[in-house]
Structure 1
């Protein structure tokens, strides 16, 4: 199966918004490869470390909310 990792990254970013707390922090219990790609894309700060949460960049926070609305809001 050919997997579209960009679509996976969009879904992970949207779900990270669901776990938003303390301003721009979100729990980071998602696939490490996807988290790495989001970091490379400049949407989250480095996910590696002991913290159980990750910090969005300003662009990542705005994009995560937009994607959450697109993917999961009832119409």
Structure 2
């Protein structure tokens, strides 16, 4: 991932995410009100997944890890 817009989109997805449990484990979800180009790239990079018809996406374990790295890079506190 080299595009700062994609990095910040992933970071925002993570920071605004919520935990959801369907009985099969806990997942982080976030509403996808971000540019479709970035969401498509993040899906291609396997940081997020979800249906194109859905209003939310799931963050993968790799996406969560990358988002936490981006928090350090951009000096953002929270979690």
- Shorter-chain TM-score: what band? 0.7 to 0.9
- Is the partner of 2:3 in helix, strand or coil? helix
Contact (CA 8 Å) 2:31, 2:57: kept in 1 or not?
Answer: yes
Distance 1:70 1:42, change over 3 A: same
Moved over 4 A (4+): none
Q: State the alpha-carbon separation in 2 of the partners of residues 7 and 43 from structure 1.
A: 15
Q: State TM-score, norm by structure 1.
A: 0.77
| Structure 1 equivalent of residue 3 of structure 2 | 6
Matched, 1:31 2:35: yes
Task: Give deviations 1:28-59, integer Å, cap 9, x for gaps.
Answer: 1100010000000111013511x321001110
More helix by share: 1
Q: Over aligned residue pairs, what C-alpha RMSD do you find?
A: 1.8
Q: Which has the higher contact order (CA 8 A, sep 6+)?
A: 1
- Is the partner of 1:26 in helix, strand or coil? strand
Matched, 1:20 2:17: yes
More strand by share: 2
Q: State the alpha-carbon separation in 1 of the partners of residues 67 and 31 from structure 2.
A: 13
Distance 1:8 1:66, change over 3 A: same
